[in-house]
């Protein structure tokens, strides 16, 4: 049975809905852009979390930001993919949730982002909350609430 099957929305925590870290594709802050692009293309995701060597969350990197960085005046400067590192292009201005945050806080965070990272008090990466997880839970709640 699902962890949230019998729970009211107000009782559901972000940690109940998140995809846990071991199932999340990620890249390391010092990886060359070439490796990051490979992970993004192979996984099929538009963007993934960036972690440091101790598995703390430091940002998010996506295909668009990488392609923009290597775009020259007339061509993609492919050689930049091996010269540049993830930390030079990643977005560090990202929202972050705690596993103990409420469903409503998660819903609010996900309005402007396809996914939001979840980390503990020390900043260690716990997983991600996706729009899909929030929408699935909302749908379940609508179907099980007596109208």
Identify which of residues 130 and 137 has a Cβ nearer to ligand 2BA in the complex: 130
Note every long-range contact of 65-68, with CB atoms under 8 Å and residues 24 or more positions apart, other chains counting.
65/89, 65/90, 65/91, 66/33, 66/36, 66/37, 66/40
Nearest to 96 by CA among 50, 128, 122: 128
Residue 9 Cβ vs ligand 2BA, minimum distance, rounded to whole Å: 18
Binding residues for ligand 2BA, rule: CB under 6 A, are 19, 23-25, 43-48, 114-115, 128, 130-132
Identify which of residues 85 and 131 has a Cβ nearer to ligand 2BA in the complex: 131
Identify which of residues 23 and 121 has a Cβ nearer to ligand 2BA in the complex: 23
Residue 20 Cβ vs ligand 2BA, minimum distance, rounded to whole Å: 10
Record the tokens describing residue 9, joined without a space: 């929305």
In this structure, are residues 125 and 119 in contact, taking their beta carbons and an 8 Å threshold? yes
* Residue 53 per-residue DSSP state: T
Residue 138 Cβ vs ligand 2BA, minimum distance, rounded to whole Å: 13
Residue 23 Cβ vs ligand 2BA, minimum distance, rounded to whole Å: 5
């Amino acid at each position: 049975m699902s962890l949230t099957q019998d729970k009211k929305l107000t009782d559901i925590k972000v940690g109940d809905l998140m995809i846990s870290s071991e199932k999340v594709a990620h890249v390391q802050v010092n990886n060359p852009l070439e490796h990051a692009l490979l992970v993004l293309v192979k996984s099929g995701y538009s963007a993934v979390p960036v972690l440091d060597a101790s598995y703390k969350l430091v940002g998010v990197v996506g295909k668009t930001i990488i392609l923009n960085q290597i775009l020259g005046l007339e061509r993609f400067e492919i050689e930049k993919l091996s010269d540049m590192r993830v930390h030079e292009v990643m977005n560090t201005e990202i929202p972050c949730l705690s596993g103990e945050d409420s469903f409503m806080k998660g819903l609010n965070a996900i309005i402007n982002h396809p996914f939001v990272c979840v980390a503990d008090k020390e900043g260690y990466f716990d997983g991600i909350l996706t729009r899909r997880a929030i929408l699935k839970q909302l749908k379940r709640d609508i179907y099980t609430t007596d109208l």
